[in-house]
Structure 1
Amino acid sequence: MLIKMNPGGIAMLEKNIVSIIAAVLTPIVAFAAPAAYLEKSNIIGADNQVHIYRVPTKDVSGKVGYYDVAVTLSVTDSGMINTTSSTIVATASPTFFGNGFVPGNYKDAGGSYSCSASVAILNAGRMQTALSCYSGGGQMSATWVSGVIAGHPFELDLRNAGIDKIPGYENFSWGKIGTYNSSTWFGCMNNSEIVSAVQAGNSIQMSGYDFGNLQKCGVTLIKQ
Structure 2
Amino acid sequence: MQKNFNRKLIIVTLLSTFIPATGSSTPRVMLEKAQTYALDNQVKGFQVPTIDNTGKIKYYDISIKLTVKNDGSFNPLPSFTAKPSISISTRSILPGTYKEVGGDVCKVTNIMLSNGRVQSFFTCPSFEFSLATGPITVDHPDFAALTAAEIQKKPDVTTQTWGAITNGHFDLTTCSPYSGTGFLDVGGPIGAKTDGKTLVLSAYSSPAFANNSGSFICSATFIKQS
TM-score by length of 1: 0.50
Structure with higher strand content: 1
Work out which structure has the larger RCO, using CA pairs closer than 8 Å and 6 or more positions apart in sequence.
2
Structure with higher helix content: 1
